[in-house]
Chain A
């Protein structure tokens, strides 16, 4: 069997499910039965890491693991059970709006006295908070826009053209030095973080893993294309003001020019992307497939749900003066 020599190392296990997936990827053997999945907490470290490992095979894989495992039927069967558990919890726990207009309308209102993570970082964030934030967000930003590229073959016409245009912008408009994932690696460099893909997986909380697993779940399933579009819209609509606060945090702490630039670029880019996604991607999709409106709403609101859980985790730890990471960052 061929193995990937490059790629991130497999993460350390966080429980029986993630340990079984790790062992299976390295040396085969038996995967856990569906009952074991049903018994695991849906948002817990073990289930989220097991799912993350399954999904990573579709991105870059892991060093020492065969690339053929991506389409291993037994692993796909386990992944389906993990996804079912996660998606069932998301559907049960997400407060959904009545319409896309209502869901988007709420996202477009800026709180005067916000209490979110970006407000905290702007007002009182120290460099160690910013480093922890960047290390965890690197799980997504080092593959920024990748989960959303999977939706392109599932769209057509106006929605497809607009989605492709936004993705082209995310990928630097044809210039490798402007690819957003590259800009984020430059930000990490300013913060003294290791920029290697997958380096901070062990440090990331279950709440952080859930935000990335959500994108992979929506991106990999054509049946969830409406939710993927809703998710993307939620990210793009909330990004611009949040990025402005993070740019201010980077400036105030003297993090460095690349750290400022990443968020400055997102203030401007996402003010455009928001408009294109709202009017062209959502508008185009629902013009062709109006029955997907509840899925778009679910995608928007489920994104808010997992982001709220991450915010509670980060702010809870930071306000108590503790690290939000599972393993410390090298100083």
Chain B
């Protein structure tokens, strides 16, 4: 069945380093067959597999270095 003419392709933004950005809402089926969903306007899907909130990105892909500070605030 073709999609209805009003359907536009869902955009997914790919980055070499960082999550896949998908227009929400999304439902993700995991390897064990369970599904999780998010109705955020855009969703960041983990591609580095290091996220502790997989399949959602938690910025664990970031480079790490020895440094003195954690910079600014939390909760934006």
Contact = CB atoms under 8 A, between A and B. Distances in A.
Contacts of B39: 173
Majority-rule SS of B interface residues: loop
A111 B67 CA distance: 5
A81 B19 CA distance: 45
Interface residue tally on B, bucketed by range: 20 to 34
B64 A112 contact: yes
Interface string B48-76: 00001100111100111111111111111
A245 B73 CA distance: 12
Interface residue tally on A, bucketed by range: 35 or more
Interface stretch (A29-37, A65-73, A283-291, A300-308): A300-308
A242 B74 CA distance: 5
Contact of B75 (A262, A303, A307, A311): A262
B63 A108 contact: yes
Contact of B66 (A111, A119, A246): A111
Majority-rule SS of A interface residues: helix
A119 B70 contact: yes
Contacts of A180: 75
Interface of B: 13, 18-19, 21, 38-44, 52-53, 56-59, 62-76
19 contacts: A109-B63, A110-B65, A111-B69, A144-B75, A165-B41, A234-B72, A236-B76, A242-B75, A244-B58, A245-B70, A266-B74, A268-B57, A270-B76, A271-B56, A271-B59, A272-B43, A275-B18, A304-B71, A311-B69
